[in-house]
Structure 1
Amino acid sequence: MEAPQPTRAKPILTLTVNPALDVSTSTERVYSGHKLRCGGSRLDPGGGGINVARVIQRLGGNVLAVYSAGGPTGEAYRRLIEAERIPSVVIPVQGDTRQNFTVDEDSTGNQFRFVLQGAELSEGEWGTCLEVVARSVPVGGYVVASGSLPPGVPEDFYARIARVVRKGDARCVVDSSGPALSKALAEGVFLVKPSRRELGEHFGALLQSEESQVDAALALVADGCAEYVALTLGDAGAVLASKKGVTRLQAPPVQVLSTVGAGDSFLGAFVLRLAQGHPVEAAFSSAVAAGSAAAMTPATELCHRHDVERLEKEVTAAAD
């Protein structure tokens, strides 16, 4: 008898409308009034959707990354994506792709993150992004719309993405904040991954207690805003809310070097495991492991596969 063939993973598309060339370095101390002599630097292609795509590829998955790029920075960004051999569709824009700057202060271990504003997109440019996604929706798969919106892009952009994804018979995953997140939730999505702060901003509350956080996540599910709400809580782990109830997972103990990219690593692992046919609970566990694995890496580095696979065995359910 032939051995059963593995189930083919469902296709995944990621969208990044506000990418950033991430520059990271370190200095002994950050203070004003003098030149700060820095150590070595590194460049990474950043932005929510791109980071999710990079994680999916690192973990052995297949993904199509759709992103905008423009100017000399955009060209450098494009070369970095090509070097990682990530299948992609590039939407040319007039404005220069932004840069983000991360500085580690060696004397204290503090990290300073400078997030620049993206170039304004014209209606034609963001409209092209929407059209490309509509033409490329992976039937039966997942579309991950992640990151901030640049100037010129309407606040309901991710809500529009959710509509075209639903029409294309796929599942929409959104990771954003502010009005962009709220309008996407009003439209309804499959999965949303807010932090405690982002969820609180949506409800206009601080959500300081675990009970209030869980209640808010369940409220989104009950209102039809999302089938699943993955609430990330840093080193406290994460909470997953759905119609089945609530699952809490503790993050495995790791030495934290940088939290940059931890949320994107979490989301990339979560969506990949779902696409591979794993149960939601198992995918959630992988996501927590990937977020912790990313925190182990310096500056803007993302998680590594061997760390994720090791930490998956260490993720434990939180005690009620």
Structure 2
Amino acid sequence: MKSIATLTMNPTIDVSYDVAEMRHTHKMRTDNEWYAPGGGGLNVARVFVRLGGNARSFYLSGGATGPALDGLVDLHQLVRTRIAITGPTRVASAVLERQSGKEYRFTPQGPRIAPGEWNECLDQLDETDADIVVLSGSLPPGVPDDFYAQATRRLRRKGIEVVLDSSAPALSHGIAEGDLLLVKPSSGELESYLGTSLSGHSAIADAARRIVAEGKARLVAVTLGHEGAILARADGAWFLPALPIEAASAVGAGDSFVAAMVYALARGDDDLAAFRMGLAAGTAAVLRAGTGLAQAADIARLLRQVPDPEPL
């Protein structure tokens, strides 16, 4: 089993709770309150460890809220390397309105990161001996758009495989650097990267295969929300339809997908089996409202319902 490390440049303290009804101005009493360490890389590590793997989490933490994040990371029994920053760790909220069944999500931009702080992240990554590093999540203010490209360059020089899951310029620069094991954009993120709209699964598959053909990534997994997902590699592209479930939340679905797919690849599963496991985990994450992410038992149960991928 290969070891992994994850990097979270813009972590969160994820708070979730329920209200009977959302009403402006009025004080709304909440229940079912829950706190969890969040942000792309931390979410990936949480699910990866639940599945039985080992993961080290690199993340930034600071301000009055930083110790709370550190404590939550410890509660989830994650092996951690904390990079201290001056600014406060952000707090994100997910609120379920029971009356409508709708979930409302509030996510701050995050603290401004000084050059010395983000450079410390690169230096810390230089010390990792993981086989695979997952670079996941948004970049906070102050971090250059090509940060993930810089990290990829340094990791690949050490022979470490890199997985990228981000958006906007961070995704574009990371793909441009190339030589990735896996990149996982959503269909909207892929369109943003290309600067054009993509109509239909065939167009999405063709765009993903071009990224592979250009040597940017060995695997490109494109998540399509309620439609399913597409996987591209050198010899073709495959489609998996979404499982027929009623989604209660969208928090962490993409991170759970990445965690399970990387877990399967790390233990030696073939690409299509890993793709199936990713879809099962992404589905498991949306079964319940809040920030719980995918649970191993749900992933195993749903995996039995995932069909063989269809070639495109």
TM-score range, shorter chain: over 0.9
Q: Which residue does 2:191 correspond to in 1?
A: 200
**Structure 2 equivalent of residue 236 of structure 1:** 227
State yes or no: 1:128 paired with 2:120.
yes
| Cα shift readout 1:186-224 (whole Å, capped 9, x = no counterpart) | 001221000011001011122232222112111211222
SS in 1 for 2:127: helix
Unaligned 5+ runs, structure 2? none
Q: CA RMSD in A?
A: 1.3
Do structure 1's residue 69 and structure 2's residue 57 form an aligned pair? no
Check if 1:273 corresponds to 2:293. Answer: no
Residues 297 and 303 in structure 1, CA contact (< 8 A), matched pair in contact too:
no
In structure 1, how many angstroms separate the alpha carbons of the residues matched to 2:259 and 2:164?
12
Equivalence map 1:102-141=2 (5 Å): 102-138=94-130, 141=131
Q: Which residue of 2 aligns with 1:148?
A: 138
Q: What SS class does the counterpart of residue 64 from structure 2 fall into?
A: helix
- Distance in 1 (CA, whole Å) between partners of 2:206 and 2:235 is 14
In the alignment, which residue of structure 2 is the partner of 1:307?
Answer: 298
Counterpart residue number, 2:163: 173
Q: Could you tell me which residue of structure 1 aligns to residue 14 of structure 2? A: 22
TM-score, normalised via structure 1 length: 0.94
* Displacement over 3 Å in runs of 4+: 317-320
C-alpha separation in 1, matches of 2:165 and 2:298: 24
Deviations 1:118-169 (A, max 9, x none): 111111100000111112142xx11000000011100000001110111010
| Whole-angstrom CA distance in 2 between matches of 1:33 and 1:179 | 37
Determine if the alignment matches structure 1 residue 51 to structure 2 residue 51: no
The percent identity for this pair of structures is 44
Give the unaligned 5+ runs of structure 1.
1-8
Match status 1:284 vs 2:275: yes
2:309 and 2:241 map into 1 onto residues whose CA distance is 5
Q: Does the 8 Å CA contact 1:187/1:225 hold for their aligned counterparts? A: yes
Q: Find the counterpart in structure 2 of residue 162 from structure 1.
A: 152
Q: Is the CA contact (8 Å cut-off) linking 2:132 and 2:163 kept in structure 1?
A: yes
2-side partners of 1:152 and 1:32: how far apart? Answer: 34
- Verify the 8 A CA contact 1:137 1:165 in the aligned structure 2: no
After TM superposition, the structure 1 = structure 2 runs for residues 180-191 of structure 1, keeping only pairs within 5 Å, are 180-188=170-178, 189-191=180-182
